[in-house]
Amino acid sequence: MIPTNPATPAALTQLSPDERLFRDTVRQFAAAEIAPLVRSMDESQQMDPKLLRQLFSLGLMGIEIPEQFGGAAGTFFEAILAVEEISAVDPAVGVLVDVQNTLCINALIRWANEEQKQRYLPRFAVDTIGAYALSEARSGSDAFALETRATPQGDSYVLNGQKLWITNAKEAGLFIVFATIDRAAGYKGITAFLVEKDTPGFTLGKKEDKLGIRASSTCELIFRDCVLPSSQVLGEPGKGYKIAIETLNEGRIGIGAQMLGLAQGAWQHAIRWARERKQFGKPIGDFQAMQFQLAEMATDIEAARLLVYNAARLKDARQPYLKEAAMAKYFASQVAERVASLAVEVFGGSGFVKDFPVEKFYRDAKIGKIYEGTSFMQLATIAKLIL
Ligand SMILES: Cc1cc2nc3c(=O)[nH]c(=O)nc-3n(C[C@H](O)[C@H](O)[C@H](O)COP(=O)(O)OP(=O)(O)OC[C@H]3O[C@@H](n4cnc5c(N)ncnc54)[C@H](O)[C@@H]3O)c2cc1C
């Protein structure tokens, strides 16, 4: 008989007892507290302020923050589980939690100095939402072509420029903003700054009216002679490109989890409908054609989950995960679009109207192929790493 090591999980998707408890808690919370708000938040394009407070009090806005700073001292994998479970109910809330944990908090834990950690991590744990501002009108995929300037002036920097499409901007209290201190230096001039909401010279611009994830705010940021002391530099001057690359590598797994959760949510609704809806005298789920579609969706979701969990586990184990993260985001966003589209078809005409949740999942799925690196950019990363 082959001896088995009880410490080795039988499958990559198997969770430890602690992880299972955490996942189940988030799942119950999402079903009880988020589900009733999904439609109204989508229609009003607003996050419910009470929901935001609940997310903080459950510890979901500071999953990886060390205990000494008031956080839950959890793992990256737990952050991924939270994003997945929340996105299975509302991908708009999923991205809010994702940006907070996988981009902003991760960037601070990795790059902030002790004084910045003392100042900001406890706030992130209790009531402050973060936003991550890299993109501009003329620099999306080519992010390091950014034009926002940070001109050194004594012991300060003066920011001038505009950022576009910044998630969480309306609710955020702290922004990680990328600007160049020296355009001639190319990517080596890019520097990350910590910008508080009320800093003079910083205002929010237009809020986007979007196809999907409508409750998630996406706004323009405007900097006009915004003076920041050099103590607001995150990491070192000129190292912003490294911070951006490294945080986005992690963030990609988060978007993979958002898309995985979305697909799972759409599939669950499709299964329920296939059991309930009767045509030709029996549930539509009794027809083999329907069963095969649902089976194909389940297979896709399982494959996406393996990729996402694998990348997250590698990250927690401090092993290389770049290729795996890009594959997870690339594949999970394809699966989300495919599964959400099939779910609409399983619902028939009811799938096309707002009375049922699959219509929203279908709209929400599109963004997975666009933000935090388009699908083409993921393929470019994968190709570079395998060739
Ligand atoms: C809802 C939403 C939320 C967002 N949130 C944030 C945020 O919080 N922070 C932030 O900084 N940004 C955010 N973004 C911006 C997002 O990351 C960019 O939209 C994305 O990176 C793509 O950039 P772009 O829109 O300029 O498209 P472009 O870069 O102009 O790309 C257009 C098309 O060209 C393709 N393309 C470009 N270059 C290549 C190439 N070399 N090879 C092959 N194809 C290529 C792309 O794949 C795409 O299909 C958000 C965007 C949206 C819509």
Domain shared by 151 and 286, yes or no? no
Instruction: Using the mean position of ligand 1's atoms as its centre, give its distance from the Cα of residue 137 in Å.
Output: 10
Q: Are 124 and 176 in contact (CB under 8 A)?
A: no
Domain shared by 43 and 150, yes or no? no
Give the atom of ligand 1 at the shortest distance from the alpha carbon of 169: 8
Q: Which residue, chain included where needed, has tokens 């194909």?
A: 296
Q: Residue 95 maps to which CATH number?
A: 1.10.540.10
- Asked whether residue 1 is assigned to any structural domain, the reply reads no
Residue of the nearest CA to atom 32 in ligand 1? 141
Domain shared by 377 and 269, yes or no? yes
Q: Hey, is 114 helix, strand or coil?
A: helix
Domain shared by 69 and 96, yes or no? yes
Domain shared by 255 and 365, yes or no? yes
Residue 3, pLDDT score: 45
Q: Hey, is 372 helix, strand or coil?
A: coil
Give the atom of ligand 1 at the shortest distance from the alpha carbon of 208: 1
Domain shared by 286 and 256, yes or no? yes
Q: Which of 106, 133, 88, 360 is nearest to 253 (CA)?
A: 106
Write down which residue in 129, 162, 197 finishes a domain.
129
Mean pLDDT of 34-50: 98
Write down which residue in 129, 146, 167 finishes a domain.
129
Q: Hey, is 226 helix, strand or coil?
A: strand
Instruction: Using the mean position of ligand 1's atoms as its centre, give its distance from the Cα of residue 212 in Å.
Output: 16
Which residue would you say has higher pLDDT here, 378 or 5?
Answer: 378
Kindly report the number of other CB atoms within 10 A of residue 67's CB atom.
9
Instruction: Using the mean position of ligand 1's atoms as its centre, give its distance from the Cα of residue 251 in Å.
Output: 14
Domain shared by 84 and 177, yes or no? no
∠249-178-366 over CA atoms, to 5°? 50
Domain shared by 265 and 302, yes or no? yes
Residue 119, pLDDT score: 98
Q: Of 96, 141, 176, which is best to mutate to test ligand 1, by the most ligand atoms within 8 angstroms of its C-beta?
A: 141
Domain shared by 67 and 110, yes or no? yes
The yes-or-no verdict on residue 5 having pLDDT over 90 is no
The pTM (predicted TM-score) of the whole model is 0.97
C-alpha distances in Å from residue 53, one per residue of 33, 42, 89, 127, 365: 12, 18, 18, 7, 26
Q: Which of 289, 313, 311, 309 is nearest to 301 (CA)?
A: 309
Share of the chain above pLDDT 90, in %: 96
Q: Of 135, 217, 367, 379, which is best to mutate to test ligand 1, by the most ligand atoms within 8 angstroms of its C-beta?
A: 135
Q: Residue 249 maps to which CATH number?
A: 1.20.140.10
Write down which residue in 82, 109, 129 finishes a domain.
129
- Asked whether residue 3 is assigned to any structural domain, the reply reads no
Range of the domain at 308: 242-386
Mean pLDDT of 73-99: 98
Domain shared by 258 and 380, yes or no? yes
- Asked whether residue 86 is assigned to any structural domain, the reply reads yes
Tens digits of residue pLDDT in 140-195: 999 999 999 999 999 999 999 999 999 999 999 999 999 999 999 999 999 999 99
Domain shared by 183 and 216, yes or no? yes
pLDDT-derived band at 13, boundaries 50, 70, 90: confident
Domain shared by 374 and 246, yes or no? yes
pLDDT-derived band at 10, boundaries 50, 70, 90: confident
Pairing of strands 174-180, 278-279: unpaired
**In terms of C-beta density within 10 A (0-12 exposed, 13-18 middle, 19 or more buried), how is residue 387 classed?**
exposed
- Asked whether residue 382 is assigned to any structural domain, the reply reads yes
- Asked whether residue 279 is assigned to any structural domain, the reply reads yes
Tens digits of residue pLDDT in 206-264: 999 999 999 999 999 999 999 999 999 999 999 999 999 999 999 999 999 999 999 99
| Cα–Cα distance, 340 to 319 (Å, whole number) | 33
- Asked whether residue 5 is assigned to any structural domain, the reply reads no
- Asked whether residue 2 is assigned to any structural domain, the reply reads no
Q: How many domains does the chain have?
A: 3
